[in-house]
């Protein structure tokens, strides 16, 4: 008779792979070189904040470490990967969604991002072992970006690099360009995750109703582009240790997109092969696949399996049955704290929507174990805290029958069970 396995813990250890923070505007000043203080004072005096979630009293969640820890623990979350949220010096808006600067804008914007990175080091140090802070770069100067990767890695920002987007019309090359090879090389060398967050690759949003709707339809698609840019550029083939994390872009699209990328890979590689065969005539497509086989090796699906992960913020119930096709070991749940679309203060309810009826080991991997592995959290240490504040396993096992009043996360929205690829 086979002896029973170990009894699962009473509570889950939840690590949010998608949270946001930043300094209050004037608090960035000490993190700038003194030579920039006069320019900063002039910029800060004229800046008008357009973001309601950065206004008091909720804004303090971005930088008040004690309040933040208390609210996350209240919500059952014991650790977080921290992306930017507030407006860094010399930016017109939040840096996550800002387009790459022009040559004239670069120096000031770069000083502002480096100030944010220095602030992030101190912010994470206020909660040792519980925050994996990401750091930002610009793509205008690759050598400067590589130096910043080394500096931030050495300073302890374990959340890794936040890769900027390159929407159409950007003043820098597309992500497939070989000019970025030193960036991929240093991240692979140091084991630094490369994160690409939704909203960072879209063209600028206009205010017309149609523009806002089109933005919502396209914003995740623009962020998905990093996957096929790097795959077809051979980045994953040259750097098998590189890790790419696609965050807050959904996850239900992944199986279909991988099928599509595999189709094009086979089609183009096959067309190129035909051009070199005496037995077959070259097709009109052969030039599009020339050199692709040598660049990409075993293809996009293999690159996904080896190199890629998904920060699956407030995972929807229709996405969970796809976990084996996505890769159970690749899915990292996120709360998107402190955004309005985040699950706070109803994370337990959101987890019930997604994971009721799913085996314990699988839920434990998706809500904490995978993120701990990718971002270097000490999972046993977090388990001890989760034993006091984590959501109860028995609670998550029960389907949610009624949406909490006041819940604003799309995890609870009507239609959230409809597949969106």
Cα–Cα distance between 51 and 418 in angstroms, integer? 30
The reply to whether 280 falls in a domain is: yes
- Report if residue 73 sits inside a domain: yes
> Is residue 192, in this structure, part of any structural domain at all?
yes
Tell me how far apart the alpha carbons of residues 293 and 286 are, in angstroms, rounded to a whole number.
12
Q: What is the pLDDT of residues 327-366, one digit of tens each?
A: 999 999 999 999 989 999 999 999 999 999 999 999 999 9
Summarize pLDDT for 185-207 with one digit per residue, the tens: 999 999 999 999 998 888 887 88
Identify the band that residue 2 occupies on the pLDDT scale cut at 50, 70 and 90: low
Instruction: Report residue 416's pLDDT band, with 50, 70 and 90 as the boundaries.
Output: very low
- Model-level pTM? 0.94
* Tokens describing residue 165: 């987007």
Of 326, 332, 324, which Cα lies nearest the Cα of 375? 332
Taking the C-alpha atoms of residue 297 and residue 231, their distance in angstroms, rounded to an integer, is: 10
User: HSE of 3 in the Cβ direction (CA atoms, 13 Å)?
Assistant: 3
Q: Which residue is listed with tokens 């190129």?
A: 272
pLDDT over 90, % of the chain: 77
The mean-pLDDT minimum among 65-74, 97-106, 235-244 falls in 97-106
Q: What is the mean pLDDT of residues 154-176?
A: 95
Helix boundaries (H) for 13-133: 37-46, 65-74, 103-125
Residue 229 has pLDDT above 80, yes or no: yes
CB 81 within 8 A of CB 134: yes
Domain span at 111:
14-412
Q: Is position 3 within any domain?
A: no
- Count of domains forming the chain: 1
Q: Is the pLDDT of residue 418 over 50?
A: no
Q: Comparing 276 with 378, which gets the higher pLDDT?
A: 378
Q: Residue 65 belongs to a domain with what CATH number?
A: 3.20.20.140
Asked if 310 contacts 249 with a C-beta cutoff of 8 angstroms, the reply is yes
In a domain, 421, yes or no: no
Which has the higher per-residue pLDDT, 267 or 96?
267
The answer to whether residue 32 sits within a structural domain is: yes
In a domain, 228, yes or no: yes
Q: Looking at the domain assignment, is residue 310 inside a domain? A: yes
> Is the pLDDT score of 25 beyond 80?
yes
Residue written as tokens 């209050």?
A: 24
């Amino acid at each position: 008779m086979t002896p029973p396995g170990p009894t699962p813990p009473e509570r889950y250890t939840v690590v949010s792979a998608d949270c946001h923070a930043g300094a209050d505007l004037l608090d960035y000043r000490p993190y700038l070189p003194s030579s920039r203080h006069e320019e900063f004072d002039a910029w800060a005096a004229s800046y008008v904040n357009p973001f309601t979630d950065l206004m008091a009293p909720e804004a303090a969640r971005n930088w008040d470490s004690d309040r933040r820890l208390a609210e996350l623990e209240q919500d059952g979350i014991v650790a977080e990967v921290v992306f930017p949220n507030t407006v860094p010096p010399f930016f017109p808006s939040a840096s996550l969604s800002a387009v790459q600067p022009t040559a004239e804008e670069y120096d000031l914007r770069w000083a502002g991002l480096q100030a944010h990175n220095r602030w992030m080091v101190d912010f994470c140090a206020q909660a040792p072992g519980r925050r994996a802070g990401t750091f930002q770069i610009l793509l205008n100067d690759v050598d400067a970006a590589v130096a910043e990767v080394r500096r931030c890695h050495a300073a302890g920002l374990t959340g890794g690099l936040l890769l900027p987007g390159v929407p159409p019309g950007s003043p820098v090359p597309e992500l497939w360009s070989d000019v970025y090879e030193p960036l991929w090389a240093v991240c692979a060398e140091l084991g630094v995750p490369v994160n690409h967050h939704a909203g960072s690759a879209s063209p600028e949003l206009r205010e017309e109703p149609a523009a806002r709707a089109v933005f919502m339809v396209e914003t995740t698609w623009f962020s998905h582009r990093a996957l096929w840019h790097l795959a077809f550029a051979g980045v994953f083939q040259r750097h098998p240790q590189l890790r790419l994390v696609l965050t807050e872009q959904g996850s239900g699209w992944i199986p279909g997109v991988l099928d599509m990328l595999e189709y094009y890979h086979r089609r183009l590689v096959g067309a190129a092969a035909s051009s070199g065969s005496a037995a077959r005539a070259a097709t009109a497509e052969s030039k599009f696949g020339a050199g692709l086989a040598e660049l990409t090796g075993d293809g996009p699906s293999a690159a996904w399996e080896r190199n890629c992960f998904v920060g699956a913020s407030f995972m929807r119930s229709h996405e969970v049955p796809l976990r084996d096709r996505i890769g159970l070991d690749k899915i990292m749940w996120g709360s998107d704290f402190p955004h309005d679309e985040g699950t706070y203060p109803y994370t337990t309810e959101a987890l019930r929507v997604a994971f009721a009826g799913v085996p314990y080991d699988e839920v434990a991997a998706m809500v904490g174990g995978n993120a701990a592995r990718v971002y270097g959290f000490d999972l046993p240490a977090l388990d001890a805290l989760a034993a006091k504040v984590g959501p109860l396993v028995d609670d998550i096992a029960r389907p949610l029958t009624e949406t909490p009043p006041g819940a604003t996360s799309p995890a609870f929205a009507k239609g959230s069970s409809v597949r969106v690829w």
